[in-house]
A and B are shown apart, each in its own frame.
Chain A
Amino acid sequence: MKKVRVGAGSSGWPDYKDGALDVAKNGDIDYISFDHLAELTMAILQNQYAKDQTRGYIPEVIPLMRGLLPIWKEKDKHFKMCNNGGGANPPVCADEVLKLSQELNLGGIKIGVITGDTIPLSRVDELRKEGWKFKNADTGEEDIDRVRDKLLAAYAYTGADEIIEAYEQDANLVIGGRLSDNSLYCGNFMYPLGWKFTDEYWDRIGSAVCVGHLLECSSWSAGTCSNLWEEIDYPQGNPGFPIAEMDENGDCIVTKTKTSGGAIRVQTLKEHLVYEVHDPENYIMPDGIADLTQIKLEQVGKDEVKVTRLGDKPRGKPRPENLKFCLAYNDGYIAEEITIICGPKVFQQAEKAHEFVKRRIEYLGLKPREMLWSLIGWDSLCGPTVGPPPPDYDPPELGIRIAFKCDTQQEAQACRTECGHLCWASLGVGAGFTQPPRIRPVFALWPTLIPREAVPLELEIKEVK
């Protein structure tokens, strides 16, 4: 039976670089996928690109490739790679990798460069004139009128079509922009196994979407961030990245290298299968809609879990007509400050400081749009689920974190310095304070949909012979 081994190479910016190198070196892989983008990253990269057209891609791609490409050569250039590290500027990212390949004397590499996922705001306006509404997928707001003037960037989450096309043209490496994390895996399963976007394959593509989801956060399915953390070990300090061996029926074994730490267990995969899924019967990705309630997980060996179809129902449905589309807009500024209170009576000191800050904001006439007061060591992560501290509880120290959201940078600065920072002096005789993080602009996201045909994707092959 035909099988393909696909490894996880990266799940964000940054990730453990040695995880990818270990998979490439010791994972016996045919393909490897690198996701470098979080939801917000594209807005930051588009901003960089607008200021300087030699930037706008993920700079870490280059040191990662510096480590990886010599392994690729050592393996007779057997495995193929795809990433979304091109960000807002895939062509320049590809040029940099080509330069690197010459420096490393690799003797030829072919790179598929995918562009077109960034949509100019003028095109967004045109689509609206043609009658398309960018309805907010989270809030239900009908269109973007309220934020149109504040828009910074717009990008579509694209599918595996162009990755497959690049491999058909013998690309060794594919560099894209906002390729969806999941499609970086779907492409790597679909091309070698010959799966097409037709009725015969939706069940198997459903499996590819599911397994792509399992792999796309790299070490997260191999024991990091796990409920089993006490049992899971990293003897050399190197978390393992998952590898999926997928067969032509869409059944698969998820495993990892013996040279890495961590673990592949039913529980570690289950943890990821439920992660950020929403309606599990309709896990919507650009290449297909997976039904994750039809998946069976089974431990078949040490660090080997079989992922198969539970019963007779298909694991997938046809891919959606529209693509996910994100519009980023400017929405004020955030200032934050952390002060550490030294005991005794830490909660009483905190309460007094809270009162002081509230009064001082009023005294100075500042008008933050929002303010959040939280106690590190008590309720900063679990919020109101924690309740008030018991009367006899007095830990040796307690952190205060104050965060403000303001319309302007100046106002945010004033809130932080005048109220956040100087609050420490209102406390008892001793307190510690930290260097506050810089005032940060808020890039808010407007998640919506765009018709597939409105995203003009293009593939270009660049190479060094």
Chain B
Amino acid sequence: MAKKKIMLRDICYYRSGDKGDISNIGLMAKNEKAYEIIKREVTPERIKAHFKDWVKGDVIIYPMDNLQSLEIMLYEGLGGGATKTLRIDQTGKAMGNALSRMEIEVDESEL
């Protein structure tokens, strides 16, 4: 089967925000197939590797089957949190965009 590299943004929508130093990303699959793919491919380990030193703590993922979405929490992910961080994006609104750059490999037949 032919493999293909895609970015999460090809099959997902996203919105992100903050609570303290926790970045919170809602990753919404565009359809059912995409939801199956992200449930399998988007793991805490891969997310940590993607964000490198911008996420210092744990990554926790909660599936939301009703919305075909993943609720993703990045602990120590905002450089100290909105009021303390030196980043321009103090409240992590663009962290969803940043996650959507992550590349995954899928079978072409899955798309």
Chain A residues near B (Cβ < 8 Å):
39-40, 137-139, 225, 227, 267, 270-281, 292-297, 310, 331, 334, 336, 370-372, 374, 376, 380-386, 401, 403-405, 442-445, 447
Q: Are B81 and A277 in contact (CB under 8 A)?
A: no
Q: Are A293 and B97 in contact (CB under 8 A)?
A: no
Chain B residue nearest to A40 (CB atoms) is B83
Main secondary structure of the interface of B (DSSP, over half): mixed
A278-B71, A371-B86 known; 14 new pairs, CB 8 Å cut-off, are: A270-B69, A271-B26, A273-B26, A273-B67, A274-B71, A275-B17, A276-B18, A276-B24, A280-B62, A292-B66, A383-B54, A385-B52, A444-B84, A445-B81
**Which residues between 45 and 98 of chain B lie within 8 Å of chain A, taking CB atoms?**
50-54, 62, 64-67, 69, 71, 73, 75, 79-84, 86-89, 93-94, 97-98
Chain B residues near A (Cβ < 8 Å):
13-22, 24, 26-28, 50-54, 62, 64-67, 69, 71, 73, 75, 79-84, 86-89, 93-94, 97-99, 101-102
Among A295, A381, A403, the most chain B Cβ lie within 10 Å of the Cβ of A381
User: From residue B43, how far is it (CB to closest CB) to chain A in Å?
Assistant: 16
Residues on B with C-beta less than 8 A from A274 are: 15, 26-28, 64, 67, 69, 71
Given the known interface contacts A227-B13, A386-B101, the answer about A278 and B84 at a Cβ–Cβ threshold of 8 Å is no
Among A227, A443, A447, the most chain B Cβ lie within 10 Å of the Cβ of A227
Q: How far is the CA of A250 from the CA of B13 in the complex (A)?
A: 28
Q: Are B26 and A277 in contact (CB under 8 A)?
A: yes
Q: How far is the CA of A401 from the CA of B20 in the complex (A)?
A: 23
Q: How far is the CA of A310 from the CA of B87 in the complex (A)?
A: 40
Chain B residue nearest to A277 (CB atoms) is B71
Q: Are B83 and A442 in contact (CB under 8 A)?
A: yes
Q: How far is the CA of A426 from the CA of B82 in the complex (A)?
A: 31
Q: How far is the CA of A274 from the CA of B80 in the complex (A)?
A: 22
Given the known interface contacts A293-B66, A403-B86, the answer about A278 and B15 at a Cβ–Cβ threshold of 8 Å is no
Q: How far is the CA of A445 from the CA of B80 in the complex (A)?
A: 10
Residues on B with C-beta less than 8 A from A370 are: 86
Chain B residue nearest to A384 (CB atoms) is B52
Determine which of B13, B71, B83, B87 lies in contact with A280 in the assembled complex, contact meaning CB atoms within 8 Å.
Answer: B71
Chain B residue nearest to A369 (CB atoms) is B86
Q: 3 nearest interchain CB pairs?
A: A274-B26, A372-B86, A384-B52
Q: How far is the CA of A279 from the CA of B64 in the complex (A)?
A: 10
User: From residue A69, how far is it (CB to closest CB) to chain B in Å?
Assistant: 32
Q: How far is the CA of A277 from the CA of B19 in the complex (A)?
A: 9
Among A139, A278, A383, the most chain B Cβ lie within 10 Å of the Cβ of A383
Residues on B with C-beta less than 8 A from A138 are: 19-22, 75, 81
Q: Are A281 and B62 in contact (CB under 8 A)?
A: yes
Given the known interface contacts A293-B64, A293-B66, the answer about A385 and B102 at a Cβ–Cβ threshold of 8 Å is yes
User: From residue B77, how far is it (CB to closest CB) to chain A in Å?
Assistant: 10
User: From residue B64, how far is it (CB to closest CB) to chain A in Å?
Assistant: 5
Chain B residue nearest to A43 (CB atoms) is B83
